[in-house]
Structure 1
Amino acid sequence: MNPSKRREKAKNRRESGRFILIPHAVLTSSDYIGLSYKSKALLVDLAYQYNGRNNGDLTAALGYMQTRGWKRSATLTDAVQELMVANLIIKTREGKFQNPHSRCALYAMTWQQIDECEGKDLEVAPTATPPRKFSLEKQSKHPLLKA
């Protein structure tokens, strides 16, 4: 029996498909809470690209992000910068814009380990642990969350 059928039978539910995983420790951090709405939206769109094996190969290139509803390059640039300053993403490859060898910048979420991304020429080495360990940080007290 295949794994999804076993899970469905064992738990009496269907496979839910892919989902976005942003831990509560990230969402309750003061770095996340202090973000602008555009940066929070970009973080969700970057997390949407993550498949469990490609952290470090996430793009914020306008050509791709237009399919996600983004319209302006300047808005994306501002949001990327804000996410990097907040240490929620890191740049894993610098973008180059020269014909015919243009390539976009790539990013990784800091709460997941950086993966080996074959053929992507990442400038950051893969890691066995996440670059930022939110679970070890003192979390801000959000008024709506119980301690």
Structure 2
Amino acid sequence: MNSSRWRERVKNRREKGRFILIPHNVLNSDSYIGLSNKAKVLLIDLCYQYNGRNNGDLTAALGYLKDRGWVRHATLHSAVNELIKANLIQRTREGRFQNPYSRCALYSVNWLKVDECPGKDLEVDPTSVPRRSFSLEKKKR
């Protein structure tokens, strides 16, 4: 096969664009398996925001997530608390609702290092290693 045909075939194999990354170690963990469906969907929606350098700047604000199908603040709040309790996400900045200085809470996923997010006033320092290493955890099943 000549090189131009090979390149064309290889180029058409994969669509361009972003994707979400949730490792199998996370998906197979007891923490993930025990989640409710709403918490699993929120985790996917948080990962959808990740661009490779903004872990720590992921929002679960209803205003942002309405376009993703979220309707009730109580459901969203419950899912966030469930993910924090399962140690899958960490709050990196507390939300504050005081006019005119309101700002939403921000989160990071725990299987990736926390990135430096300039201008976001994170309350958690950037890290060089993930907060939680799922590959080192043993399954109890």
Normalising to structure 1: TM-score of the pair?
A: 0.87
| Alpha-carbon distance in 1 for matches of 2:83, 2:9 | 38
Q: Are the structure 2 counterparts of residues 140 and 50 from structure 1 closer, same or farther at C-alpha, using a change threshold of 3 Å?
A: farther
Are the counterparts in 2 of residues 28 and 140 from structure 1 also a CA contact under 8 Å? Answer: no
Aligned to 1:55: 55
Residue identity in the other structure for 2:26:
V
Q: Quick check: 1:9 aligned with 2:7?
A: yes
1:9 deviates by 2.9
| Alpha-carbon distance in 1 for matches of 2:108, 2:9 | 33
Q: Quick check: 1:21 aligned with 2:16?
A: no
1:140 deviates by 4.6
Aligned to 2:3: none
Deviation readout 1:36-70 (Å, 9 max, x if unpaired): 00000000000000000000000000000101100
Normalising to structure 2: TM-score of the pair?
A: 0.91
Residue identity in the other structure for 1:103:
R
Give the % identical residues.
Answer: 65
| Alpha-carbon distance in 1 for matches of 2:9, 2:23 | 23
| Alpha-carbon distance in 2 for matches of 1:134, 1:49 | 21
Aligned to 1:5: none
Deviation readout 1:72-92 (Å, 9 max, x if unpaired): 000000000000000000000
Aligned to 1:4: none
Residue identity in the other structure for 2:131:
P
Residue identity in the other structure for 1:83:
L
| Alpha-carbon distance in 1 for matches of 2:22, 2:108 | 13
| Alpha-carbon distance in 2 for matches of 1:139, 1:19 | 27
Are the counterparts in 2 of residues 25 and 139 from structure 1 also a CA contact under 8 Å? Answer: no
Equivalent runs, 1:136-147 vs 2, <5 Å: 136-141=136-141
Residue ranges of structure 2 left out of the alignment (5+ in a row): 1-5
| Alpha-carbon distance in 2 for matches of 1:125, 1:63 | 26
Q: Are the structure 2 counterparts of residues 140 and 45 from structure 1 closer, same or farther at C-alpha, using a change threshold of 3 Å?
A: farther
Residue identity in the other structure for 2:33:
I
